[in-house]
Amino acid sequence: MKKNGKLLIALIFGLFAAWFYAAPYLTLQAIKSAANARDADKLSGYINFPLLRASIKEQYSALMQDSMRDKRDNPLAVLGSSLALALADKVVDTVVRPEGLARLMSGEKIHGNREGENPTTPRPQDETEITTGYAAFDQFEMRIRKKHATDKPLVLVLKRENLFFWKLAGMKLPV
């Protein structure tokens, strides 16, 4: 009986460890499924919108301030950068919503299109290279870039919400 008890405990521990390790992968799959179905309500359950918006705003602000520093001799460029910085919060708040993210994650272009190009045409998946992995105990990253590209990838950052649940909480822009 003791041998069966130890075996049962080892089995339970093994299942616990496997589930613990696989949880962010399962979350990414659920996000992808919700995005492809364009189910904004389901998708919003997997995203921490305040943290995601703050992450994007912080990076955009740093980018605009660097741009302003490079162009401080040109008063019109500084004025333009200042206006862009002032509008950035409203733009991020408008775009980073469940509907907008569902469209982006399903490969749809949200910005204007080139002549003759349909803005709702999904990108071919075979042109995209995706890598995933733990960055820390409570942080998991998904890196997305075009295949054979040498530029920086777009990085989606998932943070652990509790023992087994993860949410998209940040984005590292490829700038």
DSSP 128-143: EEEEEEEEETTEEEEE
pLDDT score recorded for residue 170? 94
Positions in the chain short of pLDDT 70: 1, 102-126
CA distances to 14, 20, 34, 105, 119 from 10, rounded to whole Å, are 6, 15, 35, 39, 53
- The residues spanned by each domain of the chain are 2-109+116-172
Q: What pLDDT digit, counting tens, does each position of 96-113 carry?
A: 887 777 666 655 655 544
pLDDT score recorded for residue 126? 62
pLDDT score recorded for residue 175? 77
